[in-house]
A and B are shown apart, each in its own frame.
Chain A
Amino acid sequence: MSSQRALVIGAGQAGLQLAESLRAFGFEGSVLLAGAEKGLPYQRPPLSKEFLLAESVAPTVFRSGEFLESRGITLLDGHRIVSVRRDAGGGEARDSTGRTWAFTHLALTTGACSRVLDLPGADSPAVHYLRDLAHARRLGNAARSPRVRRVAVIGGGFIGLELAAAMTALGKSVTVLEVAKTVLARAVDQRISRYVEGALLNRGIDLRCGVQPVAVLDSPGRATEVLLGDGTTVSADLVVAGVGATPRTEIAESLGLACAPGIVVDGRNLASDNRTVAAGDCTQPERSLFNPLGLRLESVNNAVTQARVGAATLAGVEPPPPSVPWFWSVIGDIRLQMAGMPSPGATADVQGDPLSGSFSIVFHQGATLVAVQCVNDPARFAAGRKAIQRGSVIRPGQKP
Chain B
Amino acid sequence: MIYVQANGHRQVTDIQPGESVMSNAIAHGIEGIVGECGGFLSCASCHVYVVGTLDGLPPLGDLEDAMLEGTAAPRRDSSRLGCQLFIEPPRDGVEIEVPPAQ
Cβ B67 vs Cβ A378 within 8 A: yes
Cβ B36 vs Cβ A62 within 8 A: no
Cβ B36 vs Cβ A386 within 8 A: no
Cβ B37 vs Cβ A328 within 8 A: yes
Report the interface size class on chain B.
20 to 34
B70 CB–A CB distance under 8 Å: yes
Instruction: Give the distance in Å from the alpha carbon of A255 to the alpha carbon of B23 in the complex.
Output: 38
Stretch with Cβ within 8 A of B (4 or more), from A64-72, A191-199, A213-221: A64-72
Q: Which residues of A contact B10 (CB under 8 A)?
A: none
Cβ B26 vs Cβ A63 within 8 A: yes
Minimum Cβ distance to chain B for residue A18 (Å): 15
Minimum Cβ distance to chain A for residue B65 (Å): 8
Cβ A385 vs Cβ B70 within 8 A: yes
A59-101 CB contact bits vs B (8 Å, 1 = yes)? 0111110010011000000000000000000000000000000
Instruction: Give the distance in Å from the alpha carbon of A304 to the alpha carbon of B42 in the complex.
Output: 15
Cβ B70 vs Cβ A62 within 8 A: no
Known: A381-B70, A382-B67. Is A300-B41 also a contact (CB below 8 A)? no
Q: Which residues of B contact A115 (CB under 8 A)?
A: none
A368-394 CB contact bits vs B (8 Å, 1 = yes)? 000000000011011101100000000
Of chain A, the residue at the smallest CB distance from B34 is A304
Which of B27, B43, B70 makes the CB contact (< 8 A) with A386?
B70
Which of B27, B36, B69 makes the CB contact (< 8 A) with A379?
B69
Instruction: Give the distance in Å from the alpha carbon of A364 to the alpha carbon of B4 in the complex.
Output: 40
B44 CB–A CB distance under 8 Å: yes
Report the interface size class on chain A.
20 to 34
Known: A63-B27, A67-B29. Is A46-B38 also a contact (CB below 8 A)? yes
Cβ A382 vs Cβ B66 within 8 A: yes
Instruction: Give the distance in Å from the alpha carbon of A381 to the alpha carbon of B72 in the complex.
Output: 13
A264 CB–B CB distance under 8 Å: no
Cβ B43 vs Cβ A71 within 8 A: no
Instruction: Give the distance in Å from the alpha carbon of A221 to the alpha carbon of B41 in the complex.
Output: 44
Known: A45-B38, A300-B36, A328-B43. Is A63-B66 also a contact (CB below 8 A)? no
Tell me the B26-81 residues at the A interface (CB within 8 Å). 26-29, 36-38, 40-44, 63, 66-72
Cβ A71 vs Cβ B29 within 8 A: yes
Of chain B, the residue at the smallest CB distance from A326 is B43
Minimum Cβ distance to chain B for residue A60 (Å): 6
Q: Which residues of B contact A337 (CB under 8 A)?
A: 42
Cβ A379 vs Cβ B70 within 8 A: yes
Given A46-B38, A63-B27, A335-B40: 19 more A-B contacts, CB < 8 Å: A45-B40, A60-B23, A61-B27, A63-B29, A64-B28, A300-B37, A301-B43, A304-B36, A326-B43, A328-B37, A330-B42, A378-B66, A379-B66, A381-B70, A382-B68, A382-B69, A383-B70, A385-B70, A386-B70
**Complex A-B, nearest 9 residue pairs according to Cβ-Cβ distance, in ascending order:** A382-B70, A328-B42, A379-B66, A378-B66, A43-B38, A67-B29, A378-B67, A382-B69, A64-B27
Cβ A60 vs Cβ B38 within 8 A: yes
Q: Which residues of A contact B42 (CB under 8 A)?
A: 328, 330, 335, 337, 378
Instruction: Give the distance in Å from the alpha carbon of A326 to the alpha carbon of B40 in the complex.
Output: 14
Instruction: Give the distance in Å from the alpha carbon of A63 to the alpha carbon of B37 in the complex.
Output: 15
Q: Which residues of A contact B71 (CB under 8 A)?
A: 382
Cβ A330 vs Cβ B40 within 8 A: yes
Minimum Cβ distance to chain A for residue B13 (Å): 11
Cβ A378 vs Cβ B37 within 8 A: no
Ordered by A's residue number, 8 sampled pairs between the chains whose C-beta atoms are within 8 Å are A71-B29, A300-B36, A328-B43, A378-B63, A379-B67, A382-B67, A385-B70, A386-B70
